[in-house]
Chains A and B, each alone.
Chain A
Amino acid sequence: MTAATLDVSGTTATPFQRLVRVELRKSYDTRAGFWLLATIGLLVLAAEVIAVSVTAAQDEPMSFGDFVGTAAFLTSFLLPVLGIMLVTTEWSQRSAMVTFSLEPRRPLVIAAKALVGVLLTLATVVFSIVVGFVANLAYGLFQGDTDWTFGWPDFFAFLITQVLAMLGGFALAALLLNTAAAIVVFFVYKWVLPGLLALGGALMGWFETLRPWIDFQSSQAAIWDWSTSGEEWAQLVVSAIVWLVVPLTIGIWRVLRAEVK
């Protein structure tokens, strides 16, 4: 009997951009995904409406940058959840079996998901800026004068910190492969850990010197300040390795080896 063969010479491998488009579609084609994205948008809108009415009524001076900052504060809560959901739903819903059957080159699938996270973060940033712009116009209508202070450095700092927030969730999701666990760990490290580290630093002198190197949240101040201190940037890189690169590397290694059930 002769060997039966599959002639695959006429088939091209699935292009990366097609994987990205499919992953993008998956991010909004379920109720959970759709409402997460809608919530991000609605929260930004609601927050700006409140910010405009409160500050205008109380004669508080506000600038374009302040309005955008309000949006940034809010979206930094939800973008990590977005990053987490992109990864974990494949596991909780077990659709990874189909995804990895259709594209066995798993690193490409992970990369496509990460890129979708970045694209959605970009969209969020643009949306926040547009809404902030409108909010500042509205504030000007009530107050008579407008302050358009918001420079490119702020824009890029906003963009980079939001992408880092999203990727932070993404990395923990790849590591833990569980939505609830990843969200809890993310919020602990983002909101609880900095306080604990500061407390530790206050109690133990030696720890205070170590703290900036492992506190990823505080070290991101270097981005907002466009710091000129090489040490602060080094602290950012080191803390990013601890909280982003290490979990992402272990997570990817885990996904690549995982028996998909």
Chain B
Amino acid sequence: MSQTPIVQIQNLKKKIGNKTIIHGLTFDIYKGEVFGFLGPNGAGKTTTIRMMVGLMGITEGKVLIKGNDISKNFKEAISHIGAIVENPEMYKFLSGYKNLIHYSRMVKGVTKERIKEVVKLVGLEDAIHNKVKTYSLGMRQRLGIAQALLHSPSVLILDEPTNGLDPAGIREIRHYLRKLAQEEGLAVIVSSHLLAEMELMCDRIGILQNGQLIGVQNITEFVSGEEQKTVRFHVEPVEKAQRIFAAKLNDGVITTGEDYIDVLMEKEAIPDIVIDLVEEGIKIYGISEMTKTLEEKFLEVTGGKQVG
């Protein structure tokens, strides 16, 4: 990606009291992508988002939105952002529509037509004049997205947007966000502690743990980004085959199972090893490349700490 980033996070730190919660995050986010912010509960996702939208002071480092420093040039920077921080809390005693009117009065240029458009986009036409206290969590989440999109921002930040939604709701949100990024060119930032969800929704993810960014990678690279692959050979007898692998591959990591051997090796070496195995009279029932799931990879990167 050679374009200039819409959001630039530079060495972002947060200290509360004498406890450092965020230890220097640096990453960029581009137009048209869905960026996932992944990490277990307490990793610091919400704290980072709070700093990005100016709700919390920045101890050190910078957040730039279209080049505007959120701490120094708040009004300009924030006018490009739409966000939900944690739960989409709205005024329950007002109707959904009044809530949107409320937020529309705080920015310039949001017309009644725009409100109507956004309501339609999130599919709340039927319930928009009901009080928010009658809404389901999914409806509140959608109203939350509506208020975030009202002023046509370039950056959409959603903190755990799928929290408490049923699978259908999750699918719907995922569909939305992809559409917003692809068709409208928004930069979408979502946080989650659920891996499977991120895998389906995001183009890139940054993994956050204990306030540190462990890595930022493309989803595809992340899952299969290595030269060496784990290859599974279903063979018989396993013991004899293992000796052949040990002799032929000097540094391949080998693990054996009941009726298979997993070998970490380069793809190009497979034909040669097959010839060796056949010559030694080993029966081969199958050879398959093992792609790691994001989950396995995640556990590997975070040192096996369980998420969720």
A binds B: no
List the interface of chain B (C-beta within 8 A of A): none
